[in-house]
Amino acid sequence: MSDNSVRIPASSQTVGPYFRIGLEYLVNRNSVPSIVPAGMIELRGRVLDRDGVPVPDAMLEFSSGAGVGRLLDGNEAKSGIPEGFRRVATDDKGEFALAIARPVAETSSDAHFLVLVFARGLLRHLITRVYLGDEVRNDKDAVLLRVPPDRRATLIARADEIQAGLYWWDVVLQGTNETIFFAW
Amino acid sequence: MERSGPVFGQGLIGEHDNDLTVHHAGDPIGERILVHGRVLDEDGRPVRSALVEVWQANAAGRYRHKVDTHDAPLDPNFAGAGRTLTDESGYYWFKTIKPGPYPWGNHHNAWRPSHIHFSLFGSGILSRLVTQMYFPGDPLQPLDPIFNSIRDAAARARLVSNLDMDRSESNYLLAYKWDIVLRGRVDTPFEEGHR
């Protein structure tokens, strides 16, 4: 095959039940600090299946925009992990928690996290988005506006009523309350 | 437009993180192997500084994980995890032990062919890939529902590494070469339709 030809990407395979062996180190290096620094938010939630049963072996990866494409000085350079990227794994209750840089808006009406969802039963990971519930730019977001109004809430993290900077968002893999996942 | 993928720094990688055989007091049991190749995009260009993460069973077909209850021995000298960043030519390598097949209870006499789990990050979010690398000539492959979840024979073949005698070392190890093509050119649009 010459270098001029178009190559076909490798196929996806399930992450399987044992992904923690190779992938959990990156979860552990970014556990949620007791005080979340300015410029970052805390996001908590659960991964649920069709019947609302918690999924204890899912992995999620969050990216908050332009900040993931380069490493900044200080902590990022030392850790090798951009502040706009976080990997989490669900616990026995299906719960996850992360602290991540606020989304960097690529346009004036766009402020969201991209989220990749991996789990044992998925041959190929899922892609979705999550928006922060108190973000005024959501009303103008072109993608959010294309989602049927009754499904939009599946992409919006609810701001905690007491703790500033804390948001709540569940991922529902299947069923009537299924999170909107994007084709790719 | 597609969003760029995360960029990881060398600070993430320890000095011997791509050698799975040197992290304990003794040598792990099993066939010592080199797994190596290049990470490329669809145009054949190298994907530089790509984070490549691997995990696998030991030579006896046992994962060091609490939910693996297969009656095969754990190896005190083998954890089964590694990671590296590709270099300027997209090249990566891991030194490890050839993983054994293992039963997984999907159906009667269900055995997974030998495989190494791979996780890769490319230049864009759509480049992200989690997959499994297989070994050439493994008679369990035609029987394996996970391998055969890929319907296209040519696509399955792309997940099978090649024996590489040029990089094998006499009296020391066998080498397997596996090049990995990631999806995602810079200008790939992000499809916004619903699943």
Domain boundaries, chain A: 20-172
A94: left (phi over 0), alpha (psi -120 to 50) or beta: left
B10-181 classified as CATH 3.40.50.1000: no
Cβ of residue A10 closer than 8 Å to a chain B Cβ: yes
- Calculate the alpha carbon distances from B52 to B12, B39, B84, B122, B180 in Å: 11, 9, 5, 9, 11
Residue B173 pLDDT exceeds 60: yes
Cβ of residue A22 closer than 8 Å to a chain B Cβ: yes
The CA distance from A103 to the nearest CA of chain B, in Å, is 12
Report the C-alpha gap between A157 and A128 in whole angstroms: 13
What confidence tier does A73 reach under pLDDT thresholds 50, 70, 90?
low
What's the token pair of residue A149?
A: 């109004």
What's the token pair of residue B120?
A: 């890769």
Does ipTM come in above 0.90?
yes
Residue A103 pLDDT exceeds 70: yes
- β-sheet bridge partners, residue B129: B120
pLDDT of residue B190: 43
**pTM of the entire structure?**
0.94
pLDDT of residue A67: 63
What confidence tier does A108 reach under pLDDT thresholds 50, 70, 90?
low
Cβ of residue A25 closer than 8 Å to a chain B Cβ: yes
Report the C-alpha gap between A113 and B184 in whole angstroms: 19
What type of residue is A53? V
Q: Is there a contact between A116 and A87 (Cβ–Cβ < 8 Å)?
A: no
Residue A109 pLDDT exceeds 90: no
pLDDT tens digit sequence for A13-50 = 999 999 999 999 999 988 899 999 888 999 999 999 99
* Chain B positions in Cβ-Cβ contact with residue A16 (cut-off 8 Å): 117
Cβ of residue A73 closer than 8 Å to a chain B Cβ: no
| Contact flag B9-A71 (C-beta cutoff 8 Å) | yes
Mutate to test the interface with B, among A1, A18, A28, A122 (most CBs of B within 10 A): A18
The CA distance from B170 to the nearest CA of chain A, in Å, is 30
The CA distance from A158 to the nearest CA of chain B, in Å, is 22
Report the first-to-last Cα separation within chain A, whole angstroms.
27
Alpha helices per DSSP H over A2-147 = 20-28, 75-79, 142-146
| Contact flag B9-A146 (C-beta cutoff 8 Å) | no
Residue B185 pLDDT exceeds 60: no
Report the C-alpha gap between B183 and B39 in whole angstroms: 11
- A-B Cβ pairs (cutoff 8 Å, strict): 164
**For the domain bounded by A20-172, which CATH number is listed?**
2.60.130.10
Arithmetic mean of pLDDT, B16-45: 97
Report the C-alpha gap between B129 and B127 in whole angstroms: 6
Percentage, residues of chain A above pLDDT 90: 67
Reported in sequence order, the residue ranges of chain A that DSSP labels E, i.e. its strands, are 40-48, 58-63, 85-89, 95-101, 112-119, 126-132, 156-159, 166-168, 171-172
Percentage, residues of chain A above pLDDT 70: 90
Arithmetic mean of pLDDT, B101-125: 94
Report the C-alpha gap between A26 and B98 in whole angstroms: 25
pLDDT of residue B124: 87
* Chain A positions in Cβ-Cβ contact with residue B191 (cut-off 8 Å): 182-184
- Calculate the alpha carbon distances from A6 to A104, B10, B189 in Å: 33, 30, 18
C-beta contacts of B9-16 below 8 A and 24+ residues apart: B9/A71, B9/A76, B9/A77, B9/A79, B9/A80, B9/A81, B10/A80, B10/B85, B11/A77, B11/A78, B11/A79, B11/A80, B11/A81, B12/A26, B12/A79, B12/A80, B12/A81, B12/B51, B12/B83, B12/B85, B13/A80, B13/B83, B13/B84, B13/B85
User: Is the four-CA dihedral B142, B145, B146, B151 of positive or negative sign?
Assistant: positive
Burial pattern A33-44, b for ≥16 Cβ within 10 A else e, equals eeebeeebbbbb
